[in-house]
Amino acid sequence: MSETLLPKKEWIPTIHSHFRLQWEETQQAYVLLYPEGMIKLNFSGGEILSRCNGKSTIQTIIEDLQHQFPDAHNIEQDVLEFLSIAFGKQWLTTYD
């Protein structure tokens, strides 16, 4: 069962070592691979997780997405909600 975790903007998320994020050309989507299978991410999830590189803070990720998608609404809230789920599923870990 996943627990809800409210991410902090100063955290520096990275993909947990049990997972690997990669672009899957045949599916035209990012996928999260793990020993038992694969999770196909939607466009937004792929854009967010692709920035979780262990170097950028959550605040930087939000700002980058706001710059890349200036017409999108509620990016900050959407990113924080998605990251909360991703941390809860243990797809991510953080340096803080």
| Residue 3 confidence (pLDDT) | 57
Domain 12-91 -> CATH class = mainly alpha
Q: How many CB atoms lie within 10 A of CB 90?
A: 14
Query: Over 80: is that where the pLDDT of 9 sits?
Result: yes
Say whether pLDDT at 26 is over 50: yes
Where residue 63 falls (left for φ over 0; alpha for ψ -120 to 50; beta otherwise) is alpha
CA atoms of 55 and 49, how far apart (whole Å):
13
Mean pLDDT of 32-51: 96
Domain extents for the chain?
12-91
Read off the amino acid at residue 41.
L
Mind listing the pLDDT tens digit for each residue in 11-25?
999 999 999 999 999
Q: Is the Cβ–Cβ distance between 93 and 14 less than 8 Å?
A: yes
Band the pLDDT of 1: cuts 50, 70, 90: very low
pTM of the model: 0.90
Q: Which of 80, 87, 78 is nearest to 19 (CA)?
A: 87
State the average pLDDT over residues 46-75.
96
